[in-house]
Structure 1
Amino acid sequence: MATKQTLQSKHKLLSGHEIPIMGFGVYMIPQSATEKVTQEALKVGFRHIDSAIMYGNEKGCGQAIQNSGLDRSEIFLTTKIPPGSMGYKATARAIDKSLQEAATEYFDLILLHAPYGGKEARLGSWRALVEAQKAGKVRSIGVSNYGIHHLEELEEYVLNGGGGELSVGQWELHPWLDHSDITEWCKSRDIIVEAYSPLAHGERLREPVLASIGKKYRKSPAQVMIRWSLQMGFVPLPKSKTPQRIRENAEVFDFELSDEDMGLLDTGEYSPTDWDPTVDED
């Protein structure tokens, strides 16, 4: 690697702000455990927390940040607008409620969680994000789980005066889920791509190719998958409730997969482990 990356390294966003190259996901972590687990991640060195209204744990994330001893400006906090809050008015209300829930003056990033609700609702929600950004409630905005047709719809709206800039897109991404059409679309426009479920919910950790590559570098299958994501230029968002695994997930900056090994992980397979709204035709 030309430049040594660390857990605190950052990418520049189209909004002018910066995003840490790796984040800590809190999907499926109960509200009662979120503060403790997130504090552990912050102790390890994570400075990027990926939450969502649907996760029901924004409050725990906010409490962890407040009690971390770190300045708020040092931590990148994300939330997402759920399908049930699509449309201008509902999204505007959801943003204000999330700010109260997380007890923060602003979010670093707010994403539209999925492209549901139809065109009018999607574009109305985007308008609410743009207004929230102008008001200082959020610094950068983006989308999650959008298909190419949804992205092009939004691009047309923005270019024709809708305002805002699509800084970040988030999708399920790992060697067994090929979203190369979407990621190439984003990269050609300098949109940062985040990878949720970069470990495929653990369903692929026994794959022989991961064991073989891991043995070569003395790394676990999970570390190989996270390293793949980083070298693909994605921002991986690994999640764990176990302190040891949280630390292990962060220890991926002391090795680099060879071109040959990256090729072995280019499976071309399309096997989502979660929902897949990218194929929604509406």
Structure 2
Amino acid sequence: MTRAASSDPFQPAGSAGPVGRALEQLGRVILGKPGPLRLAVACLLARGHLLIEDQPGVGKTTLAHALARTLGLSFRRVQFTSDLLPADLLGVSIWDTAAGAFRYHPGPIFAEVLLADEINRAAPRTQSALLEAMEERQVSEGGVTRLLPDPFFVIATQNPAAFVGTSPLPEAQLDRFLLTVTLGYPDPRAERTLLETGGRGEVVRDLPAVLDAAALRAAQRDVDAVHAAPALLDYLQRLARATREHPALAVGLSPRALLALLAASRAWAFLAGRRMVLPEDVQAVFPALTAHRLPPRDPALRVADITARILAETPIP
């Protein structure tokens, strides 16, 4: 499907526009989770990467695969384990006797949507290799730099820290993820539908593409054009200052995180069919942007509760 399917890219996500149809199709696969689905699409539109923190079996892999199928993008899944090497992810050059030269064999990272499953089980070297690719959108091997696909979207899943064989990701790696979402258990109605119809694997395999890579790139450019007024930028700075000065938080939002907040807010406004960012867009993405960036001083405190108070206490323009 091409961009011509919609004369105006700024259509509400629930409309008949291509992005709206993509979200509607995803909603038929991941049942009862409209909020996380919308955040995942907003993350992709903002050219970010997504971290899903949850226990096994709640639909993380299904979400990643369904998103790739719906958007007409190539998809690869890598199971992160303690013995996974950087070359297993990035690729390796092997000597070709017939050609008398090294031949590069690309790794699974050369996909438009990469699912890094259980990323917090991998060794630091492998995590760092993924981090560089996410940040630079390129891979360097054997003195040659190779660009990754455009779009390039990493969805990483992370098991709770209490699970065996897991270790926390360093703060620098967490900061490379634009948003964090949690799927959680389905509601009773969605769970009953799963029991009556079975798993969603077969449904995902039959999903038609609603968009393609070219249309997605065009939508990302439209997101970049969403206007943020000076008063809105003032609001972002007030929120950042509130996080930096809050006594319950060990650190506040960095300038890079503030830029990420603006990008995510623009994507959320785009999904609402607007050409201008409103405070409600910022408030919608703020919890998902701060969940992995703002460690509390007291581990017994919940970041979500602290950021909710910050949103409630910060004046709105």
Question: TM-score surpassing 0.5?
Answer: no
- What is the TM-score normalised by the length of structure 2? 0.31
- What is the TM-score normalised by the length of structure 1? 0.33
For CA contacts below 8 A with separation 6 or more, give which structure has more relative contact order: 2
Larger Rg: 2
